Amino acid sequence: MPLTNLRIAFLAWFIVGVTTSSGWAVEPATSTVLPKGFQAKVEYCKTCHGSMGQGYRGATPMPRLAGQQTEYFQNQLKAFTERRRENKFMYNVAHVLSPEMLAALASHFNGLNPKPLGGGSTDLVAEGKTIFVDGLPKAEVPPCASCHGDDAKGNGLFPRLAGQLPDYVRKNLTNWSKDRGQDLKNPDNSAIMAPIAHNLNEHQVAAVAAYLSTIE
């Protein structure tokens, strides 16, 4: 079996293992969230993530939330609360959210679909697409599409990458191990990305980011 296929098989085994052993439970959206309180939270999110969840390109890039997988959305906010993912600001935002509010916000942003803001280098788009579709076997980097889907819209715990801000993608892939998987006793699927992010060089990261920024 080729190395890339072995790696994909391992990823499939790993994600099944962590999702069944970690006890994660995704809360369904309910009608118990008061409209006024829900709208206040949405407006608060908009101050950083844009009026339609499209993200914000600034000194500190704010990620696109629009169209994000609800399961991934909820688990990442739980990761901030549980210190599996390090971000002091987002910890303060996330730890006060009830399970019902968390589910309602995830559903809301999942339903948005604004045009991507773009911003990646057009010269790198073709190379980024090749990496996304085919991976880099010599560097032990599997195709991004194998987890994130051919359309880059994700699936369950695997996030939507389509239309994500290139600045944000570059920042995250470059600093992956400093931000994700901070609780080694409670691993999550961020562990899958750690070796992949490490094996991509700066140019390849920029190429993937550029390609993803063009996908609607």
pLDDT of residue 31: 57
Residue 10 lies in a domain: no
- The CA R_g of the chain, rounded to the nearest whole Å, is 17
Please name the amino acid found at residue 31: S
Residue 190 lies in a domain: yes
Residue 26 lies in a domain: no
* Helices and strands (H and E) in the chain: how many: 11, 0
Residue 17 lies in a domain: no
Three-state SS string over 138-176 comes to HHCECCCHHHHCCCCCCECCECCCCCCCHHHHHHHHHCH
| Domain containing residue 81 | 35-212
CATH number of domain containing 50: 1.10.760.10
What global pTM score does this model have?
Answer: 0.84
pLDDT of residue 142: 97
Residue 104 lies in a domain: yes
Residue 5 lies in a domain: no
Residue 67's region, left for phi above 0, alpha for psi from -120 to 50, else beta, is left
Q: Say which residues have a Cβ less than 8 Å from residue 69's Cβ, sequence separation at least 6.
A: 110, 153, 154, 155, 156, 157, 158, 159, 160
Residue 118 lies in a domain: yes
pLDDT of residue 196: 96
The low-confidence residues of the chain, meaning pLDDT below 70, are 1-31
> Which DSSP state fits 83?
T
Residue 148 lies in a domain: yes
56-94: pLDDT as tens digits: 998 899 999 999 999 999 999 999 999 999 899 999 999
pLDDT of residue 186: 83
Number of domains observed in the structure of the chain: 1
